[in-house]
Protein backbone atom coordinates (compact mmCIF):
# COMPACT_ATOMS: atom_id res chain seq x y z
CA UNK A 1 0.00 0.00 0.00
CA UNK A 2 1.51 3.33 -1.02
CA UNK A 3 -1.40 5.67 -0.33
CA UNK A 4 -1.17 8.37 2.30
CA UNK A 5 -4.36 8.27 4.34
CA UNK A 6 -3.91 11.36 6.49
CA UNK A 7 -5.89 12.88 9.38
CA UNK A 8 -5.38 16.46 10.59
CA UNK A 9 -6.20 16.93 14.27
CA UNK A 10 -6.29 20.21 16.18
CA UNK A 11 -8.58 22.60 18.02
CA UNK A 12 -10.77 25.14 16.22
CA UNK A 13 -8.45 27.73 14.67
CA UNK A 14 -5.33 25.57 15.00
CA UNK A 15 -4.77 25.93 11.26
CA UNK A 16 -6.14 22.63 9.95
CA UNK A 17 -7.83 24.23 6.94
CA UNK A 18 -4.75 26.26 6.03
CA UNK A 19 -2.42 23.26 6.32
CA UNK A 20 -4.95 21.12 4.41
CA UNK A 21 -4.82 23.58 1.49
CA UNK A 22 -1.01 23.32 1.38
CA UNK A 23 -0.97 19.52 1.69
CA UNK A 24 -3.55 18.84 -1.04
CA UNK A 25 -1.73 21.19 -3.43
CA UNK A 26 1.58 19.36 -2.87
CA UNK A 27 0.47 15.76 -2.51
CA UNK A 28 -2.62 15.74 -4.76
CA UNK A 29 -4.81 14.19 -2.07
CA UNK A 30 -8.57 14.85 -2.03
CA UNK A 31 -9.42 17.24 0.83
CA UNK A 32 -12.27 15.83 2.89
CA UNK A 33 -13.50 18.45 5.35
CA UNK A 34 -16.64 17.46 7.26
CA UNK A 35 -17.12 21.10 8.35
CA UNK A 36 -17.11 22.23 4.69
CA UNK A 37 -19.48 19.45 3.67
CA UNK A 38 -21.85 20.30 6.52
CA UNK A 39 -21.73 24.04 5.73
CA UNK A 40 -22.58 23.22 2.10
CA UNK A 41 -25.54 21.10 3.28
CA UNK A 42 -26.74 23.97 5.52
CA UNK A 43 -26.42 26.46 2.63
CA UNK A 44 -28.44 24.15 0.35
CA UNK A 45 -31.06 23.55 3.04
CA UNK A 46 -30.94 19.75 2.73
CA UNK A 47 -32.48 17.56 5.45
CA UNK A 48 -28.99 16.83 6.79
CA UNK A 49 -28.15 20.54 6.72
CA UNK A 50 -31.25 21.37 8.74
CA UNK A 51 -30.36 18.67 11.27
CA UNK A 52 -26.74 19.86 11.56
CA UNK A 53 -27.37 23.60 11.67
CA UNK A 54 -28.36 23.98 15.31
CA UNK A 55 -25.36 22.01 16.61
CA UNK A 56 -23.00 23.95 14.37
CA UNK A 57 -24.36 27.34 15.45
CA UNK A 58 -23.83 26.51 19.12
CA UNK A 59 -20.39 25.02 18.53
CA UNK A 60 -21.48 21.50 19.53
CA UNK A 61 -20.84 18.38 17.52
CA UNK A 62 -23.23 17.05 14.91
CA UNK A 63 -24.32 13.47 15.86
CA UNK A 64 -21.74 10.79 15.10
CA UNK A 65 -24.06 8.78 12.83
CA UNK A 66 -24.62 11.82 10.58
CA UNK A 67 -20.94 12.61 9.99
CA UNK A 68 -19.93 8.95 9.81
CA UNK A 69 -22.45 8.45 6.98
CA UNK A 70 -21.09 11.48 5.12
CA UNK A 71 -17.50 10.28 5.40
CA UNK A 72 -18.37 6.70 4.48
CA UNK A 73 -19.95 7.89 1.19
CA UNK A 74 -17.04 10.23 0.43
CA UNK A 75 -14.34 7.62 1.09
CA UNK A 76 -16.13 5.22 -1.27
CA UNK A 77 -15.56 7.62 -4.19
CA UNK A 78 -12.81 6.55 -6.60
CA UNK A 79 -10.52 9.55 -6.01
CA UNK A 80 -10.09 8.56 -2.33
CA UNK A 81 -8.71 5.11 -3.22
CA UNK A 82 -5.19 6.48 -3.76
CA UNK A 83 -5.08 8.43 -0.49
CA UNK A 84 -6.99 11.23 1.22
CA UNK A 85 -6.71 14.05 3.71
CA UNK A 86 -9.36 14.17 6.43
CA UNK A 87 -9.80 17.60 8.04
CA UNK A 88 -12.18 17.82 11.01
CA UNK A 89 -12.97 14.10 11.14
CA UNK A 90 -12.81 12.08 13.32
CA UNK A 91 -13.75 14.28 16.28
CA UNK A 92 -14.83 11.56 18.75
CA UNK A 93 -13.57 8.10 19.64
CA UNK A 94 -16.68 6.41 18.14
CA UNK A 95 -15.98 8.27 14.87
CA UNK A 96 -12.36 7.04 14.92
CA UNK A 97 -13.51 3.47 15.52
CA UNK A 98 -16.05 3.73 12.69
CA UNK A 99 -13.32 5.09 10.39
CA UNK A 100 -10.96 2.22 11.20
CA UNK A 101 -13.75 -0.27 10.54
CA UNK A 102 -14.79 1.27 7.21
CA UNK A 103 -11.18 1.50 5.99
CA UNK A 104 -10.35 -2.07 6.95
CA UNK A 105 -13.35 -3.28 4.90
CA UNK A 106 -11.42 -2.07 1.82
CA UNK A 107 -7.94 -3.11 3.01
CA UNK A 108 -6.98 0.41 4.03
CA UNK A 109 -5.78 2.07 7.23
CA UNK A 110 -4.91 5.52 8.55
CA UNK A 111 -1.21 6.12 7.79
CA UNK A 112 -0.50 9.55 9.35
CA UNK A 113 -2.25 11.57 12.06
CA UNK A 114 -0.86 15.10 12.29
CA UNK A 115 -1.86 16.91 15.49
CA UNK A 116 -1.40 20.69 15.26
CA UNK A 117 -0.92 21.99 18.79
CA UNK A 118 -1.83 25.59 19.67
CA UNK A 119 -2.57 26.99 23.19
CA UNK A 120 -6.29 27.66 23.85
CA UNK A 121 -5.88 31.44 24.33
CA UNK A 122 -4.19 31.75 20.96
CA UNK A 123 -7.03 29.78 19.35
CA UNK A 124 -9.56 32.38 20.55
CA UNK A 125 -7.48 35.26 19.12
CA UNK A 126 -6.92 33.48 15.84
CA UNK A 127 -10.58 32.68 15.30
CA UNK A 128 -11.67 36.25 16.02
CA UNK A 129 -9.47 37.37 13.11
CA UNK A 130 -10.22 34.50 10.75
CA UNK A 131 -11.70 35.34 7.32
CA UNK A 132 -12.09 33.14 4.28
CA UNK A 133 -12.71 33.51 0.57
CA UNK A 134 -16.18 32.25 -0.42
CA UNK A 135 -14.90 31.54 -3.95
CA UNK A 136 -11.60 29.63 -3.53
CA UNK A 137 -11.75 28.77 0.19
CA UNK A 138 -8.39 30.34 1.06
CA UNK A 139 -8.18 31.28 4.73
CA UNK A 140 -6.66 34.52 6.09
CA UNK A 141 -6.21 36.13 9.49
CA UNK A 142 -6.58 39.90 9.74
CA UNK A 143 -3.68 40.07 12.24
CA UNK A 144 -1.41 37.09 11.57
CA UNK A 145 -1.89 36.39 7.84
CA UNK A 146 -3.70 39.35 6.22
CA UNK A 147 -4.59 39.60 2.54
CA UNK A 148 -2.64 42.15 0.45
CA UNK A 149 -5.73 44.42 0.18
CA UNK A 150 -7.89 44.58 3.29
CA UNK A 151 -10.98 42.39 3.02
CA UNK A 152 -10.22 40.98 -0.45
CA UNK A 153 -8.85 37.60 -1.53
CA UNK A 154 -5.32 37.69 -3.00
CA UNK A 155 -6.21 34.90 -5.43
CA UNK A 156 -9.49 36.09 -6.98
CA UNK A 157 -10.33 39.48 -5.41
CA UNK A 158 -13.58 38.18 -3.83
CA UNK A 159 -14.80 39.86 -0.64
CA UNK A 160 -13.70 37.80 2.38
CA UNK A 161 -16.32 36.49 4.81
CA UNK A 162 -16.41 35.41 8.45
CA UNK A 163 -17.89 32.04 9.42
CA UNK A 164 -21.19 32.21 11.34
CA UNK A 165 -19.69 30.12 14.19
CA UNK A 166 -16.51 32.23 14.52
CA UNK A 167 -17.73 34.38 17.43
CA UNK A 168 -16.14 34.40 20.88
CA UNK A 169 -18.97 32.65 22.71
CA UNK A 170 -19.20 29.79 20.23
CA UNK A 171 -15.44 29.51 20.06
CA UNK A 172 -15.11 28.87 23.78
CA UNK A 173 -17.69 26.11 23.50
CA UNK A 174 -15.88 24.62 20.49
CA UNK A 175 -12.60 24.61 22.43
CA UNK A 176 -14.31 22.88 25.37
CA UNK A 177 -15.86 20.32 23.02
CA UNK A 178 -12.43 19.74 21.46
CA UNK A 179 -10.80 19.16 24.84
CA UNK A 180 -13.54 16.84 26.09
CA UNK A 181 -14.44 14.84 22.99
CA UNK A 182 -11.64 15.17 20.43
CA UNK A 183 -8.43 15.35 22.49
CA UNK A 184 -8.87 11.69 23.58
CA UNK A 185 -8.07 10.82 19.95
CA UNK A 186 -4.43 11.80 20.62
CA UNK A 187 -4.11 8.77 22.90
CA UNK A 188 -6.15 6.62 20.51
CA UNK A 189 -3.77 7.24 17.61
CA UNK A 190 -0.63 7.34 19.75
CA UNK A 191 -1.45 3.79 20.86
CA UNK A 192 -1.66 2.81 17.18
CA UNK A 193 1.74 4.35 16.39
CA UNK A 194 0.51 6.83 13.78
CA UNK A 195 0.41 10.11 15.78
CA UNK A 196 2.87 12.95 15.10
CA UNK A 197 2.75 16.42 16.64
CA UNK A 198 3.37 19.75 14.88
CA UNK A 199 3.81 22.88 17.01
CA UNK A 200 1.57 25.68 15.80
CA UNK A 201 1.70 28.11 18.75
CA UNK A 202 3.03 31.50 17.58
CA UNK A 203 4.07 30.04 14.25
CA UNK A 204 3.34 31.19 10.70
CA UNK A 205 1.56 28.76 8.34
CA UNK A 206 4.78 28.08 6.39
CA UNK A 207 6.66 27.23 9.60
CA UNK A 208 3.97 24.74 10.60
CA UNK A 209 3.90 23.34 7.08
CA UNK A 210 7.65 22.65 7.17
CA UNK A 211 6.98 20.38 10.18
CA UNK A 212 3.98 18.78 8.44
CA UNK A 213 6.07 17.96 5.37
CA UNK A 214 8.71 16.27 7.50
CA UNK A 215 5.98 14.18 9.12
CA UNK A 216 4.45 13.16 5.79
CA UNK A 217 7.87 12.39 4.28
CA UNK A 218 8.52 10.01 7.13
CA UNK A 219 7.00 6.56 6.86
CA UNK A 220 5.48 7.01 3.37
CA UNK A 221 3.37 3.93 4.00
P1 LIG B 1 -15.01 22.76 11.25
O2 LIG B 1 -15.16 23.50 9.95
O3 LIG B 1 -14.20 21.49 11.11
O4 LIG B 1 -14.51 23.65 12.37
O5 LIG B 1 -16.48 22.27 11.67
C6 LIG B 1 -17.51 23.21 11.94
C7 LIG B 1 -18.63 22.55 12.75
O8 LIG B 1 -19.18 21.46 12.01
C9 LIG B 1 -18.21 21.94 14.08
O10 LIG B 1 -18.17 22.90 15.13
C11 LIG B 1 -19.30 20.89 14.29
O12 LIG B 1 -20.53 21.48 14.72
C13 LIG B 1 -19.52 20.39 12.87
N14 LIG B 1 -18.60 19.24 12.56
C15 LIG B 1 -17.61 19.21 11.63
N16 LIG B 1 -16.99 18.01 11.62
C17 LIG B 1 -17.60 17.26 12.57
C18 LIG B 1 -17.41 15.94 13.07
N19 LIG B 1 -16.43 15.15 12.59
N20 LIG B 1 -18.24 15.51 14.05
C21 LIG B 1 -19.23 16.28 14.54
N22 LIG B 1 -19.45 17.55 14.14
C23 LIG B 1 -18.65 18.05 13.17
Q: Residue 95 CA: which ligand 1 atom is closest? A: 19
For the chain, give the mean pLDDT. Answer: 93
Per cent of the chain over pLDDT 90 is 86
- Mean pLDDT across 126-155: 93
Rounded Cα gap, residues 179 and 218, in angstroms: 28
Helix then strand count (H, E) for the chain reads: 9, 7
Rounded Cα gap, residues 3 and 111, in angstroms: 8
pLDDT at residue 220 tops 60: no
- Mean pLDDT across 103-117: 96
Ligand 1 pocket check for 88: Cβ under 6 Å: yes
pLDDT at residue 1 tops 50: no
- Is the Cβ–Cβ distance between 182 and 91 less than 8 Å? yes
If you measure from the C-alpha of residue 52 to the centroid of ligand 1, how many angstroms do you get, rounded to a whole number?
A: 9
Q: Give SS3 for 157.
A: coil
pTM: 0.91
Identify the CATH homologous superfamily for domain 4-118+195-218. Answer: P-loop containing nucleotide triphosphate hydrolases (3.40.50.300)
Listed by start position, the domains of the chain span 4-118+195-218
Ligand 1 pocket check for 12: Cβ under 6 Å: yes
Output the residue whose Cα is nearest ligand 1's atom 11.
61
- Mean pLDDT across 141-160: 95
Residue 65 has what pLDDT?
95
Amino acid sequence: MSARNVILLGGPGAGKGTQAGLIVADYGLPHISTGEMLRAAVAKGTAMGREAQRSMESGSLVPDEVVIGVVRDRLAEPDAAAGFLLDGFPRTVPQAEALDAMLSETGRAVTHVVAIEVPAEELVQRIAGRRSCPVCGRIYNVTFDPPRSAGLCDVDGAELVQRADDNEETVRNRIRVYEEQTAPLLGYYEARGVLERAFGGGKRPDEVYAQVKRILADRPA
